């Protein structure tokens, strides 16, 4: 059932998007809206019963909401530096009645360990800005640019703070672009997050990968499993069966 929208939770120019699992997320088309990469990351991340989860660069808060829907984790915290985005994400949490398990904190990823304390989470997830500082930058004050470019935090900031807030043996999950894979793995190891699992994402079976999903273990021993490729489209306009599963939609076949 579509939730009541006349409750004061929606602002002008905002829309309500159905997550296909009984939950909804509020989005503003003029700001950065979540994409498939966030949904794929929420499927890739494993959260066990009773665990505490931090989602860095949470944006709309979609990843904590999706993880709360599909796991038995104890608590899910979204950290977002842009105040208006954090406020909007908090309204999505309230809209879905998840206030007992999900919260959103407005704060700087670079200060995560100071905000929450060291060794305070079992799992950290992050869908970070993909583009390095200065790469294709046009308007550094724009919300879309902040979401896409390393303006307010770098890859090293994310990994350093993830390593600090994770308990020993805790797990880190991230989605990123293949052209930065070597850089990501080097930086993960520099901050004691040993790469343990990797999955490449391809738009079509005969195309180059355009995303990767990676898991790191704090203090883990060297050994990484490479999972089978994830193919998004069977043909133009037609998702593969696995994408239908991830989105919780019936396969059109």
Contacts of 100 (CB under 8 A, 6+ apart): none
- Rounded to whole angstroms, the Cα distance separating 51 from 16 reads 29
Q: Please name which of 141, 180, 187, 185 lies closest in space to residue 161, comparing C-alpha atoms.
A: 187
Task: Say whether pLDDT at 2 is over 60.
Answer: no
Q: Please name which of 25, 28, 1 lies closest in space to residue 14, comparing C-alpha atoms.
A: 28
Tens-digit pLDDT profile for residues 190-244 = 999 999 999 999 999 999 999 999 999 999 999 999 999 999 999 999 999 999 9
Parallel, antiparallel or unpaired: strands 166-176 and 211-218: antiparallel
Tens-digit pLDDT profile for residues 73-88 = 999 999 999 999 999 9
Parallel, antiparallel or unpaired: strands 238-239 and 233-235: antiparallel
Q: What is the pLDDT of residue 146?
A: 64
Domain boundaries, the chain: 32-247
H or E segment to which residue 99 belongs: none
- Rounded to whole angstroms, the Cα distance separating 58 from 194 reads 23
- Rounded to whole angstroms, the Cα distance separating 74 from 179 reads 35
Residue 180 tokens, joined: 């930065």
Domain spanning 32-247: which superfamily? Vaccinia Virus protein VP39 (3.40.50.150)
Residue 152 tokens, joined: 């307010």
């Amino acid at each position: 059932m579509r939730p009541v929208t006349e409750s004061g939770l929606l602002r002008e120019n905002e829309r309500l998007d159905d997550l296909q699992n009984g939950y909804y997320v509020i989005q503003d088309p003029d700001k950065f809206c979540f994409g498939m990469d966030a949904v794929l990351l929420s499927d890739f991340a494993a959260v066990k019963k009773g665990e505490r989860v931090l989602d860095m660069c949470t944006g709309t808060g979609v990843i904590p909401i999706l993880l709360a829907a599909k796991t038995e984790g104890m608590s899910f915290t979204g950290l977002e530096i842009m105040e208006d985005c954090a406020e909007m994400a908090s309204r999505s949490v309230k809209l879905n009645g998840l206030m007992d398990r999900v919260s959103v904190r407005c704060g700087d990823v670079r200060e995560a360990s100071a905000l929450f304390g060291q060794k305070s989470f079992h799992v950290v997830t992050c869908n970070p800005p993909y583009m390095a500082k200065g790469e294709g930058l046009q308007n550094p004050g724009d919300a879309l640019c902040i979401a896409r470019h390393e303006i307010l935090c770098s890859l090293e900031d994310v990994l350093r703070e993830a390593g600090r807030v994770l308990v020993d043996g805790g797990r880190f999950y991230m989605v990123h672009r293949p052209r930065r894979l070597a850089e990501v793995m080097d930086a993960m190891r520099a901050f004691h997050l040993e790469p343990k699992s990797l999955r490449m994402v391809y738009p079509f079976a005969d195309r180059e990968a355009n995303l990767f999903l990676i898991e790191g273990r704090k203090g883990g021993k060297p050994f990484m499993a490479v999972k089978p490729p994830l193919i998004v489209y069977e043909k133009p306009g037609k998702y593969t069966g696995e994408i239908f599963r991830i989105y919780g939609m019936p396969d059109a076949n």
